[in-house]
C-alpha cells in the first residue's frame, strides 16, 4: 500500500486521529505532549500515530495535509490543525464540542 493510501485509510477509519511524536502517555516533544493532553481533556477516545515510528508517514503527511508541522489533529476526516490551534480551541471551548459530537456520531453509526 502506498503511504498516501495508508494515511487516507487511517484518517477514514479513525474519527479522531492525532499524528504526533511519541504516544499520549510518552510524548517525544513538547508540542505533541500539549496536543495530546488537550485532546485527552475532552474525555473521548482517540487514535494516534507515532510519526517517529512511521518515517514514511512523517515524510508524506505534510504534503498530503498541506500542513508542515506535527502534531496534526484530524477530526471526522478534516484537518483541524497543530498544537497552537488545538490549544486555542480548547481555551475557547470549541474542541470539546467537536470531539464529543464526532465521538457520538460514530458511536451511533457503529451501534446500527
Domain housing 84: 3-111
| Long-range own/partner contacts, residues 76-81 (CB < 8 A, 24 or more apart) | 76/15, 76/16, 76/102, 76/105, 77/11, 77/12
Residues of the chain below pLDDT 70: none
What was the pLDDT predicted at 83?
A: 97
50 marked ligand binding residue: no
The reply to whether 76 sits in an annotated binding site is no
Q: What is the pTM of this model?
A: 0.95
Domain count, the chain: 1
Closest residue by Cα to residue 17 from 41, 45, 57, 43: 45
Q: Would you say 42 is a known binding-site residue? A: no
- pLDDT value, residue 17: 98
Residue 12 in marked binding region: no
CATH of the domain at 102: 3.40.30.10
The number of residues making up the chain comes to 112
Query: Which pLDDT value is given to residue 110?
Result: 78
pLDDT the model gives residue 109: 83
Amino acid at each position: 500500500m502506498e503511504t498516501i493510501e495508508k494515511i487516507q485509510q487511517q484518517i477514514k477509519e479513525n474519527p479522531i486521529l492525532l499524528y504526533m511524536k511519541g504516544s499520549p502517555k510518552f510524548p517525544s516533544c513538547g508540542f505533541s505532549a500539549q496536543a495530546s493532553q488537550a485532546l485527552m481533556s475532552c474525555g473521548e477516545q482517540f487514535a494516534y500515530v507515532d510519526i517517529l515510528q512511521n518515517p514514511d508517514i512523517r515524510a508524506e503527511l505534510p504534503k498530503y495535509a498541506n500542513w508542515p508541522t506535527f502534531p496534526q489533529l484530524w477530526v471526522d476526516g478534516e484537518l483541524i490543525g497543530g498544537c497552537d490551534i488545538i490549544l486555542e480551541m480548547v481555551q475557547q471551548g470549541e474542541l470539546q464540542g467537536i470531539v464529543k459530537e464526532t465521538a457520538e456520531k460514530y458511536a451511533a453509526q457503529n451501534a446500527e
